[in-house]
Amino acid sequence: MLTSTAASAQFTQPRPASLATAEVPSRGGDYIAVVVNQELVTAGEIEQRVVRVRENAARSKATLPPLSELRQQVLEALIDERVQVTYARDSGTRIDDAELDRAVLNVAVQNQVSLSQLRERLRADGVDFT
């Protein structure tokens, strides 16, 4: 009985991102690229994020690494996000509306834009503000 409890406790713990990394092969259609703590990362998500990063870099005239390296960095960022979300959910972390509103306002202030401009910029970048 103790063994099954220990095994289930290990199963619910977030796995290190390094265990979930995978190279995304180039092929048509959307498919599951990586599974992180029962959360899926699809090739489509990776490509959408790559496009967004490239567009943002073009706007700011930033230099990017080669495409294969950029894809790997994007994949690692998506894995990190999934691990963080899983950990937050499993640990019962909650953020109330007031705290979220303060954080969004802080982002707008740091970027020297109004809330409506921030929403529009996020929408243009393909990020759902709601």
pLDDT in tens, 2-50: 333 333 333 334 444 444 444 445 556 799 999 999 899 999 999 999 9
Whole-number Å distance between alpha carbons of 113 and 115: 7
Class for the domain spanning 13-94: mainly alpha
Q: What pLDDT shows up at residue 94?
A: 93
Q: What pLDDT shows up at residue 21?
A: 43
Q: Where are the domains of the chain?
A: 13-94, 95-130
Q: What pLDDT shows up at residue 7?
A: 35
Is residue 74 pLDDT above 90, yes or no? yes
Q: What pLDDT shows up at residue 28?
A: 62
Between residues 84 and 124, which one has the greater pLDDT?
84
Q: Mean pLDDT over all residues of the chain?
A: 82
Q: Please compute, for residue 85, the number of CA atoms within 13 A of its CA located in the half-sphere on the CB side.
A: 12
Is residue 120 pLDDT above 70, yes or no? yes
Own/partner pairs for 83-91, CB < 8 Å, 24+ apart? Answer: 83/14, 83/15, 83/17, 83/20, 83/36, 83/37, 85/39, 86/14, 86/36, 86/37, 86/38, 86/39, 87/14, 90/12, 90/14
